[in-house]
Amino acid sequence: MGVKLYKELRLKNPDLIVGWPGIGNIGIVVVDTIREQIQAEEFGEIEAHDFFYPRRVIIKADLLKDLEFPSSKFYYKRFEKKDLIIFIGEEQPTNGGRMYAEGRKAYQMANLVLDVAERFGCQRVYTSGAAVAMVHHTLKPRVWAVPNKEELIDELKRYENTILMSEVEGRGGQGSITGLNGLLLGVAKKRGLAGVCLMGEIPDYLSGAPFPYPRASKSVLEVMSSILRIPIELSKLDNMDARVGEIIESIYEQLPEEIRERLEQRKFVVPTLGAITEDDQKWIKEHIDEFFKKGSKGDERPL
Amino acid sequence: MKDLFELSGQSELRSPSLVVGWSTDAGKLGSKVTDYLNKKLGSRDLGEIEPTDFSPLGGVTIEGNLVRFPESKFYACPQHNLVIFKGDAPSYEWFKFINLILDVAGHYGRVKELYVIGGMVFLGAHTAPRELLAIFNSLELKQALSQYNLGRNMNYQTPPGQRPTLNSFLSWVARRRNIPGVSLWVPIPFYLVAVEDPKAQKKLLEFFDQRFGLQIDFQDIDEEIRKQNERIAQVRDSSPEIDEYISKLESNLMLSEKENEKLVKQMEESLRGKN
């Protein structure tokens, strides 16, 4: 188990941004959009076979040719003042059927990523993901920012459309960040490395949807772009957002009128925990999830 | 890693071949074939892998009125220089588990060859002859086994949304360790998947018999095949509907989803507990 680096690099005060799949794929869309636009170059990977179950076997003429695993790759890009390292993991290592990483494997993965960050003199790490909130999908998602060091709080307050946990209604500054997006920041803190998690708001009723939520990715990208001082072209995300928006609207129209009316209230009031009851929330989520689950699931073929 | 497995006693094995079967397999093929080999060859316990790192252990499951607990055991047959492994597939730490299997067998010298057993679902009738398919991890072994008529020149890629089997993972790890290996697959009629398929067991056992020169007397398994055929014939006699479904399959016609379900349910009810 370990890291394979394809080349030795000298990088200038780099920051690290990481992306993993998660709710609405908000974080990974952010990081992959940056990677694509700045044309970052791949320079290493974490060996996958000890972390993941393979995802594809290739057999040719009765011979097992290859077994493919979810990738966990490092990229870099040089800039004038500060270079950038990007890490993208196609899956979070889990124990069994859980969606998010936890436990020993997750801790090992977080440490391997940070080993590379420290080896190249990284100054800060940024993770990004979803903030499930009682908001409406037509509103611009805000970005919840959680630093791992107190001295970062003032800086984060300066970014537009960004709020701290203490400013999220009904939270009292408390919360949690599941999976590697959170764990990486914890491990970074343990190592004395500064880190921030940027989470784009996604409506609770869409958090189980099987498609991305680019609207929140766009909000996070805007903030990330300001922080890193890297201009990002957002038109591709806008197109994706328009397509996903149509799907969401068609589903939304099928919700019972009473529920829809209550959700509509979210458009006009500052979100509070009392906007709908917990029972309503559960009902909406269950019924929408049920709606999404109607697609077929293929059985595993034994090869 | 020694605390993860326990070996009992010495063995005269020298660079043995390793046969692997999983306890949970279509038609119980893995467990039935390994149990049969162990019984016929008089294998003795060699050791086991502790489940702590590989199963949730949040309680136990109950199967057939009995408590079931993850078990992964090795058996030795020094006479034929064979190690036989029968185990529950791990819930996580797959790579570590697979390496442990190869480590334990490799304790007696480099594993000569690996044979992994697997049953796969077949949409045809039980009256069709069973086939033996093979996926090799080395061209040399493929050539060495050419006399057994295993080759189908098969090309395959895991479709999106599905995952490879643990057998493929095991074969791949073996190749990384320079152990030639083959995954042996027998298609099992879908309505026998949840019960047993002695005909499929015999197909595999015949291969092992020839490959390792075991000289097994198959009278008992032939008797099982006969009994199962008789039971299925009784079901067909008593239910024209089931008979029609099987006849359709025998004519290479597809059944509807509903017909499939009915056939599976009826066969499970009729055959379960009688095997």
**pLDDT tens for each residue of A128-156:** 999 999 899 999 999 999 999 999 999 99
pLDDT for A63 equals: 97
> Using the beta-carbon criterion (under 8 Å), do B139 and A63 form an inter-chain contact?
yes
Shortest alpha-carbon distance between residue A109 and chain B (Å)? 14
Q: What is the pLDDT of residue A288?
A: 61
A62/B154 Cβ within 8 A? yes
Inter-chain CB proximity A64 and B120 less than 8 Å: no
Q: How many CB pairs under 8 A join A and B?
A: 103
For residues A193 and A118, the answer to whether their CB atoms sit within 8 Å is yes
User: pLDDT tens digits, residue range B140-172?
Assistant: 999 999 999 897 899 999 999 899 999 999 999
Give me the residues paired with residue A199 across strands.
Answer: A129, A144
Which residues does B34 contact at the CB level (< 8 Å), separation at least 6?
B19, B21, B75, B84, B85, B86, B117
| List of chain B residues whose C-beta atoms are within 8 Å of the C-beta of residue A105 | 92
| Average of per-residue pLDDT values in chain A | 87
Instruction: Give Cα B192 to chain centroid, integer Å.
Output: 14
Calculate how close chain B gets to A53, using CA atoms only, in Å: 7
Task: Please give the residue of chain B at the shortest CA–CA distance from A95.
Answer: B92
Evaluate if residue A294 carries a pLDDT over 70.
Answer: no
Nearest CA in chain A to B153: A61
CA distance A95 to A74: 24
Question: A1, A59, A299, A303: which to substitute to probe chain B, counting the most B Cβ within 10 Å?
Answer: A303
User: Does B175 contact A96 at a Cβ distance shorter than 8 Å?
Assistant: no
What's the domain range around A18? 10-292
Pick the residue from chain B with its C-alpha nearest to A51: B93
Q: What is the CATH number of the domain that holds A209?
A: 3.40.50.10900
Task: Let me know: does A121 contact A14? Beta carbons within 8 Å.
Answer: yes
For residue A67, the chain B residues in CB contact (below 8 A) are 164, 168-169, 172
B185 to chain A, any CB pair closer than 8 A? The answer is yes
| Per-residue confidence (pLDDT) for residue B109, from 0 to 100 | 86
Question: Is A271 domain-assigned?
Answer: yes
Using an 8 Å CB-CB cutoff, list chain B residues near A101: none
Q: Do A303 and B185 touch (CB under 8 A)?
A: yes
Q: Let me know if residue A176 belongs to a domain.
A: yes
Contacts with B100 (C-beta within 8 Å, 6 or more apart), sequence order = B1, B4, B5, B49
Backbone phi and psi for residue A5, each to the nearest 5 degrees, phi listed first: -105, 130
A301 within some domain: no
Within a domain: A3: no
3 state DSSP class of A36? helix
Facing residue for B169 by CB, picked from A60, A62, A67: A67
Residues B275 and B269: their CA atoms lie apart, in Å, by 12
Establish if A76 belongs to a structural domain.
yes
Query: Is A303 close to B151, i.e. CB distance below 8 A?
Result: no
Does residue A93 surpass a pLDDT of 90? no
User: Is the pLDDT score of A168 beyond 90?
Assistant: no
Does A260 score more than 60 pLDDT?
A: yes
**Range in A45-59, A262-276, B35-49, B88-102 with the lowest mean pLDDT:** A262-276
Number of domains in chain A: 1
The helix/strand/coil state of A128 is: strand
pLDDT band at A286 (very low <50, low <70, confident <90, very high): low
Exposed e or buried b for every residue in A115-128, given b needs 16+ CB within 10 A? ebbeebebebbbbb
State the angle between helix axes of A235-253 and A214-228 in degrees (0 to 180), rounded to the nearest 10: 150
Stretch among A5-14, A92-101, B185-194, B266-275 having the lowest mean pLDDT: A92-101
Q: What number is the ipTM of this complex?
A: 0.85
Q: Is residue A256 over pLDDT 90?
A: no
B190: amino acid identity, one letter: F
Residues within 8 A of B (CB atoms), A 39-78 only: 49-50, 53-64, 67
Chain A residue closest in CA terms to B118: A302
Would the CB atoms of B169 and A301 count as touching at under 8 Å?
no
- Give a yes or no: residue A5 inside a domain: no
Q: Is residue A298 part of a domain?
A: no
Q: Determine, yes or no, domain membership for A222.
A: yes
pLDDT score at B10:
65
Domains of chain B: residue spans and CATH: 2-217 (3.40.50.10900), 222-271 (no CATH)
